[in-house]
Chain A
């Protein structure tokens, strides 16, 4: 049985003469949480941008859920079941939590083109459910996001991804701007996703967090994947050696 949810073969991206991503072979299995680590400019975000369709790859193949895909934009990727939590929050500050969760995919009582009548009650109820299943605590969902702390806003963004992602969540440094307690809360949410079997790609600079949360760690260096290590078979020093180039070379795995 094929339990691979995402696979890239020879994924390459060049910006003019810059080889930002070179021949990336990557596999993510169902229910697996994988961390993508590497120095700045190692190609982590470039890799994610190809998978989510934000940019178009130079060459290579992407297989998602058993089929070769070519997402022309983030919307198409989202419709296919890939939800992304971006580094910069993609939330509308002046809207409340249900409006943000359902932004661009509102539920309607009846349809009338642009003047379709919103089903605010159902959206609010389902939002509360989604927050409950992802263990996100927001004191008052009817407040605009603007009035919330950075951690709460990040939780809303994650809850949005988790509520709709049927197949894959990608998080680009979800805790980079958060304090200690807020980070703990976000990490708890990620553990909850693991329990529910939602596969995830986590980009992070925080090795402590990476070892806490994921099954496997993929190291990028200078646009190439230089290592793919199971969490139990490696340690922080090992990872750092790969990141800095002390260790490493071509690896093949499947």
Chain B
């Protein structure tokens, strides 16, 4: 039996009973959703969702499906990692989707190859000087775009004290306009081989996983992470405790911008083209992944692990609906319901925990 000590004011405290981490609930939700697709698949399609049913391949799981599940969320997942640390520190970033669009256009202009099938590149943006540049040039130009966007976001929020929603909404509209203006709405294509290698095959997954681990460590073990939680939890207290809140906020949005532009580089490389409409709605998908993963929109609570699980739930739902041969319309509707349900459940948990 657990030992019970009497706390202050006669409150009883049971040391054996610890609050269940939020991530565990998300993991349970993920397992339930996978199980639901597995059962529905066997009933309706006569096929397994998760396991390998073909005789010619000797694996337990359906590896093709598993890799598609994670591949299709890994690019938005990279954005979601950046958005997660923004939300934890009490902000919001609506600009990431548009930053993806603008960055893809600009980076791709520096990644073009001079000759396509013996002909000059028909989609050339700049003259010969910008052709066949080393891959580092478009990558750095791209990351620079994200850095600038994030710096503007962060500075506006920290020093003019306008709400993050407004500052990043402005950036969202401006960056989308920039991406349309850049080539008068024309797509930019034919990158160099080395640029195309960035997003090839399972590279996006590798990048997503590496960044998820890196940011999990940063958020858990470093001063940066601790201050994100502190500022999101009680900004006045953080300020009073000597944390340079303004500097921190700028850094948070700069990192979010860089991650969004990295996603743009990977995406444009994977698609071998950049279009002005790239990344539309990505910001909302990224926020939704974080929210499903238990990141509180009021700040201070959440984790990278939760967001990764949230991203996986997204991937499973998309794959599951395709597997059941249901229309994409249902996907969208179910996604919407899951987002709201995740927040409602979180609210209930909070209310139950808060004492009067």
Binding site for B on A (CB under 8 A): 74-75, 78, 86, 88-95, 99, 103-106, 108, 112, 114-118, 120, 137, 139-140, 143, 146-147, 149, 151-152, 155, 179-182, 185
Contact = CB atoms under 8 A, between A and B. Distances in A.
A140 B218 CA distance: 25
Q: Is the interface of B mostly helix, strand, loop or mixed?
A: helix
A112 B8 CA distance: 40
Contact of B8 (A99, A116, A146, A181): A181
B226 interface: yes
Given A182-B8, A185-B8, A139 B13 contact: yes
A179 B301 contact: no
A144 B214 CA distance: 24
B237 interface: yes
Nearest to B298: A94
Given A116-B222, A143-B19, A179 B230 contact: no
Interface residues of B, number: 36
Interface stretch (B239-247, B266-274, B339-347): B239-247
27 contacts: A90-B237, A90-B240, A92-B229, A92-B233, A92-B234, A92-B238, A93-B234, A94-B232, A94-B233, A94-B300, A99-B229, A99-B230, A103-B243, A105-B242, A114-B224, A114-B248, A114-B251, A115-B222, A116-B222, A116-B223, A118-B223, A143-B19, A149-B11, A151-B9, A152-B7, A181-B8, A182-B8
Interface of B: 5, 7-11, 13, 15, 18-19, 218, 221-224, 226-227, 229-230, 232-234, 236-238, 240-243, 248, 251, 300-301, 353-355
B13 A140 contact: yes
Given A99-B226, A147-B353, A118 B8 contact: no
A114 B240 CA distance: 18
Contact of B7 (A89, A120, A149): A149
A99 B241 CA distance: 11
B301 A103 contact: no
A105 B19 CA distance: 28
B8 A95 contact: no
Given A137-B8, A149-B9, A114 B229 contact: no
Contacts of B11: 149
A95 B229 contact: yes
